């Protein structure tokens, strides 16, 4: 399927989605949201696809935020009645059960930083810059930034970033725990696709369960989270891939996965 504001392609079991409004530094408007919802739904529904990578077109930006020109036209009643930004949480952050990676190739500001943080993890180019500069527009994060950034980097750094609007470079973001790994700019996409291919080569139901377990750490207390983990582990032991994975280890061969 082709889209107005994003590009999609599949490479074996990996779906690559590219935000494609380079003239607006890939700013996230309503059409981008609709396109991303459809592309992620297509990825989820396609059994041949087991991991996705989201990146930005051009050399400069992953996404420089929600589209300021679109938001400037709206009043408070519009934002409230549309429950503006709600679908980013329900239809992107929470709807995708398969693993996906944000490959941040430049500016990830405001909604761009928030979208990257919706991914299961972030790989960053050494030129990436992260920030929540909404305060400079007289507003504040609206797509989860105040919560996800705080959980990722702690209160002090999140508060400083939100209150000053300053940008954080890739190395600082890695040290702070926002980013899994920083790679040279020219190697970002290759590295992200390679990492995604590694994940796609894993038993896919186990990958989904691992994702669900780690995400539970953000929503439960420790005792509940550990109980949840144990139950999911026990459920996975009923899978064909558990029998195959353990037999393959004992027989010193590669596992052949069924994804169930
Ligand atoms: N929305 C709409 N258009 C944007 C945009 C955005 N968030 N960010 C950049 N653009 C547009 C610019 O208006 C410009 O378009 P024109 O050529 O038509 O004027 C084009 O992209 C290139 O941008 P610049 O000329 O500004 O590029 P630069 O290299 O000088 O600066 C930048 C780059 C520092 C990222 C600067 O563009 C910038 O500060 N952008 C806004 C960042 C921002 O405030 N993001 C938060 C948005 S609010 C939000 O996201 C709310 C939320 O929580 C979800």
Q: What is the pLDDT of residues 67-87, one digit of tens each?
A: 999 999 999 999 999 999 999
Binned at pLDDT 50, 70 and 90, residue 2 comes out as very high
* Model-level ipTM above the cut of 0.95: yes
Q: What is the structure's pLDDT at 236?
A: 97
Helix (H, G, I), strand (E, B) or coil at 133: helix
Answer yes or no: 30 catalytic. Answer: no
The residue extents of the domains of the chain are 6-201, 204-251
Reply yes or no on whether 207 is catalytic.
no
Architecture of domain 204-251: Orthogonal Bundle (1.10)
Neighbours of 169 (CB within 10 A): 15
What average pLDDT does the structure give for the chain? 98
Which of 24, 62, 84, 140 has the most ligand 1 atoms within 8 A of CB, as the residue to mutate?
Answer: 24
Residues 6+ apart with CB under 8 A from 56: 18, 19, 22, 26, 62, 63, 104, 105, 106, 112
Whether 245 is a known active-site residue: answer no
Find out whether 4 and 24 touch, Cβ atoms under 8 Å: no
Residue of 64, 72, 148 with the most ligand 1 atoms within 8 Å of its CB, for mutation: 64
| Any atom of ligand 1 within 6 Å of the Cβ of 107 | yes
Nearest CA to ligand 1 atom 28: 25
Q: Can you tell me which residue has the tokens 């040290």?
A: 175
Q: How far is the CA of 26 from the centre of ligand 1 (A)?
A: 9
**In 3D, which of 148, 143, 1 has the Cα closest to residue 66?**
143
Residue 230: is its pLDDT beyond 90?
Answer: yes
Burial class (CB in 10 A: 0-12, 13-18, 19+), 9: exposed
The Cα–Cα gap between 42 and 28 comes to 20
Ligand 1 atom 47, closest CA: 65
Residue 1 pLDDT greater than 90, yes or no: no
| Superfamily of chain region 6-201 | 2-enoyl-CoA Hydratase; Chain A, domain 1 (3.90.226.10)
Q: Taking each helix axis as running N to C, give the angle between helix 145-153 and helix 155-164, from 0 to 180 degrees, rounded to the nearest 10.
A: 140
Does residue 114 have an active-site annotation?
yes
Q: Is pTM, for the whole model, over 0.90?
A: yes
Mean pLDDT of 185-199: 98
């Amino acid at each position: 399927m082709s889209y107005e504001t994003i590009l999609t392609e599949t490479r074996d079991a990996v779906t690559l989605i590219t935000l494609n409004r380079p003239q607006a530094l890939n700013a996230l408007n309503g059409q981008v949201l609709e396109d991303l919802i459809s592309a992620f739904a297509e990825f989820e529904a396609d059994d041949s696809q087991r991991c996705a990578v989201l990146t930005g077109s051009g050399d400069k930006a992953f996404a420089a935020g929600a589209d300021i020109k679109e938001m400037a036209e709206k009043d408070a009643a519009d934002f409230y009645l549309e429950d503006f930004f709600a679908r980013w949480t329900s239809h992107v952050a929470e709807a995708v059960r398969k693993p996906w990676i944000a490959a941040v190739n430049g500016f990830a500001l405001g909604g761009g930083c928030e979208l990257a943080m919706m991914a299961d993890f972030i790989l960053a180019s050494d030129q990436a810059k992260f920030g929540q500069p909404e305060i400079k527009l007289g507003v504040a994060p609206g797509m989860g930034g105040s919560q996800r950034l705080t959980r990722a980097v702690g209160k002090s750094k999140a508060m400083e970033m939100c209150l000053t609007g300053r940008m954080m470079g890739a190395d600082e973001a890695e040290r702070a725990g926002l980013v899994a790994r920083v790679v040279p700019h020219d190697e970002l996409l290759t590295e992200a696709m390679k990492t995604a291919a590694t994940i796609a080569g894993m038993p896919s139901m186990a990958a989904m369960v691992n994702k669900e377990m780690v995400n539970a750490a953000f929503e439960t207390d420790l005792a509940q989270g550990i109980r949840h983990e144990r139950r999911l582990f026990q459920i996975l032991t009923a899978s064909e891939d558990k029998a195959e994975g353990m037999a393959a280890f004992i027989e010193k061969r590669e596992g052949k996965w069924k994804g169930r």
